[in-house]
Amino acid sequence: MKLLTRYILKEHFLPFLYALLIVIFLLFTNFLLRAVDRFLGKGLPIDIILEYLFLNTAWIIALAAPVAVLVATLMAFGRFSEDNEITALRSSGVSFTRILWPALTFSILVAVPLMTFNNTVLPHMNHNARMLARDIYRKRPDLNVEAGYFIDDLPQYSFIVKGKRGDRYQDVHIYGKDRTVTQTSIRAKEGSFRPLDDAIMVTLYDGEIHEVEVNNYQNYRRIIFDRHRITIPAEDLMLERRETGSRTDREMTLNMMHEKIAGYRKRTAAIEERIIKEFEFSFPDTPIPATMEDLMTLVKKQQNIEKEETVSDPNRSISRSQDLINLSLRVRTDYQMIAGYERSINRYTVEIHKKFSLPSACIVFVLVGAPLGIMTRKGGFFTAIVFSFGFVLLYYLFLIGGEEMADRNYLHGAVAMWMPNIVLGAVGLVMTYQATHERTMFQIPSFRKGKKKLS
């Protein structure tokens, strides 16, 4: 039996590596095509670009690993079935459950390190990637001036050049953007640009400066120069790396998120205590309603009573009615704050459970992939990719939909994140039961060509 276990594990290992590399390549290519516009025109060094791409491989690996397990399982059990090894093992008295155990062990060996990776490596790489992306976005373009194109990214001036000869640009036109007092335009036969830390030194040769007042076009000034220098402020011309302590939910470890949740619950408890005190002061002999709607109904009812009594008795003070109005406004604000804190708690709860539910999909995909591979009777990579696509798509649709509903507070974060595993896990258990008892819910059509008999 140990030989059988090693044999099945070996059949999973290489297909898993191949599938992991291919899925990572596909996801990485899709990400690169979407992110390439962030690099264009920025004049970034190659090491910054490579660092940004490397930091974004963390979430790609987290998504690709469960898919690779499904593809490997389909390939392994498809080949077992294609070569009739499943039939031979069953004839020898080996049950399908015994054949499945090594595959489940392999999925656990992938899932457990992936959980650790999601809690330790992934948050920090996500944080560093976001910080670097922000710094890249803030960085202004380097001085790669192209002839015939307007450079409009500088704060005070825009300019265009007609050509370049050696290290000098030819026929330079510079226009001032601030037109509240004067309109300024500068023309020069030649010019050079030298980037500084936070500015650009522009040296112009043989040109003219034209200035005209906006409010009075009669006030016009023309200056002819042989050489003229302009210092144009340009913050973040050089990429400046910044650090910040603020992190989003996808950039936090479990301890960080638990601390955040504890803080929100502490604030919620303080608000609830304040509501109780205000209610007991305004309604000392009335039990506190269970919901905000009941509380607002009680306050509104009391307001109507106070209004009727004030109308019937003109000498009655209206301060009590005004106090109730103020109370209703304060209570509504407090409950809105509580609702906001609950949404934040649910958002962090989603991320906590996602760190475990996504790696656990490796086990679910084995339960689905093993019987499906036996039904396909094909061990090729292309067949495994085709059949895994539908299940992976269904899983991530459930995952994304559940996360969206949890963020809107329609579902608890734990339910939202474990729902895809529960649904596909149930399907996998049914398929595994059918395969164990040699039954099939549906038959995968065979595409093998039969030979025609010649008469």
Same domain, 25 and 101: yes
What total number of domains does the chain contain? 2
The reply to whether 129 falls in a domain is yes
Same domain, 111 and 224: no
Predicted local distance difference test score (pLDDT) of residue 24: 93
The reply to whether 119 falls in a domain is yes
Kind and range of the H or E run holding 445: none
Predicted local distance difference test score (pLDDT) of residue 238: 54
Same domain, 69 and 185: no
Q: How many residues does the chain have?
A: 455
Label the pairing between strands 220-233 and 199-213: antiparallel
pLDDT of residue 307 exceeding 80, the answer is no
The reply to whether 114 falls in a domain is yes
Q: What is the mean pLDDT of the chain?
A: 81
Show the domain range for 84. 2-139+349-436
pLDDT of residue 332 exceeding 80, the answer is no
Mean pLDDT value across residues 261-274:
89
pLDDT of residue 453 exceeding 60, the answer is no
The reply to whether 84 falls in a domain is yes
Same domain, 57 and 164: no
Same domain, 76 and 182: no
* CB atoms inside a 10 Å sphere around CB 176: 14
* Angstrom distance (rounded) from CA 174 to CA 184: 8
Residue 192 identity: S
Buried b (16+ CB within 10 A) or exposed e, 15-36: bbeebbebbbeebbeeeeeeee
The reply to whether 117 falls in a domain is yes
What Rg do the C-alpha atoms of the chain give, in angstroms? 34
> Does the predicted model carry a pTM greater than 0.75?
no
Same domain, 7 and 64: yes
Most confident of 6-15, 61-70, 221-230, 437-446: 61-70
pLDDT of residue 206 exceeding 90, the answer is yes
Last residue of a domain, one of 183, 212, 233: 233
The reply to whether 175 falls in a domain is yes
* Angstrom distance (rounded) from CA 71 to CA 373: 9
* Angstrom distance (rounded) from CA 96 to CA 439: 12
Strand partners, 229: 203
Same domain, 120 and 30: yes
Last residue of a domain, one of 174, 204, 233: 233
User: Cα 252 vs. chain centroid, distance in angstroms?
Assistant: 13
Q: What is the DSSP secondary structure assignment for residue 454, as one 8-state letter?
A: P
Same domain, 161 and 119: no
Same domain, 432 and 369: yes
User: Cα 144 vs. chain centroid, distance in angstroms?
Assistant: 33
Where does residue 452 rank: exposed (0-12), middle (13-18), buried (19+ CB within 10 A)? exposed
pLDDT of residue 337 exceeding 80, the answer is yes
Give backbone dihedrals phi and psi of 224, rounded to 5 degrees, phi first: -105, 135
Same domain, 134 and 161: no
By the 8 A CB rule, do 106 and 76 touch?
Answer: no
First to last CA, the chain: 50
Same domain, 21 and 53: yes
The reply to whether 95 falls in a domain is yes
pLDDT class of 452 with cuts at 50, 70, 90: very low
Last residue of a domain, one of 199, 233, 267: 233
The reply to whether 444 falls in a domain is no
Interaxial angle between packed helices 319-376 and 96-138, expressed in degrees from 0 to 180 and rounded to the nearest 10: 130
3-state secondary structure of 328: helix
Residues in Cβ contact with 380 at an 8 Å cutoff, skipping those fewer than 6 apart: 75, 78
Same domain, 132 and 162: no
